[in-house]
Copies of this chain bind each other. A is one copy, B any other.
Amino acid sequence: MEHLFITPAGKLRDRWQQAFPRARAAVQVADIGEATSGPRGIVWLDIAALAPAERSAEVHAATAFGWPVVVMAATPGESEAFQLLNQGAVGYCHLKAAPEQLREIALVVEHGGFWMPPELMQRFLALSTRVVPAEAPVDPELNELTSRELMVAEQVAHGASNREIAAALDITERTVKAHLSSIFEKLGVRDRVQLALAMNNIPTYTTVN
């Protein structure tokens, strides 16, 4: 198991070295070259010194590498956590996590798990029950939607804009619109407002049917 630390300084911190004596460091993911054929490893991404915009790009680049990616932030925040994890990271921890902690995280992610600080995890789960729509009381008409359409519809049901949906599903706004047009037709609604209401089982008075 290789451990690759991507950090602006380009050198390992003591903590990292302690956790994984054979760890390597690099400034950019690109500096690694192709190693996908070699043994499995973990990419540790230090985003403390990166601008928000760069973070997404780095995470994308890192995940493209093919190894599980753990993001390390100076001040872990929930919104950032979800955003980065949504981009393919499977771990999110404090930049100053202790060596033992790092090893724990490594064990988790190398076995297909998912790690974030307990308090974030709790928050994450608390949100989940509200974010994820109950699946029982859905209209039979929803069955007509394809899986992708359903994802879009659920986002609209929570008030998301096309841009936000595109970002969340990692597709273009154009595609979101395409899905929406199809959804409107299938569900017999006129626009996103009526869709949002319909998804929440609220009748619309102008709706025909």
Contact = CB atoms under 8 A, between A and B. Distances in A.
A85 B158 contact: no
A16 interface: no
Interface in A150-209: 151, 154-161, 164, 167-169, 189-194, 196-197, 200, 202-209
User: In the assembly, how many copies of this chain are there?
Assistant: 2
A50 to B, nearest CB: 15
A108 interface: yes
Contacts of A116: 114
Contacts of A78: 131-132, 135
B108 A206 contact: no
Contacts of A125: 82, 85-86
Given A115-B113, A126-B169, A159-B207, A82 B131 contact: yes
Nearest to A170: B126
Contacts of A205: 131, 158-160
A79 interface: yes
Contacts of A189: 159
A88 to B, nearest CB: 9
A39 interface: no
B127 A154 contact: yes
21 contacts: A52-B209, A78-B135, A79-B135, A79-B136, A85-B128, A86-B126, A105-B112, A105-B113, A107-B113, A108-B112, A109-B113, A127-B132, A127-B151, A127-B155, A130-B160, A156-B193, A158-B206, A159-B190, A161-B206, A164-B207, A167-B207
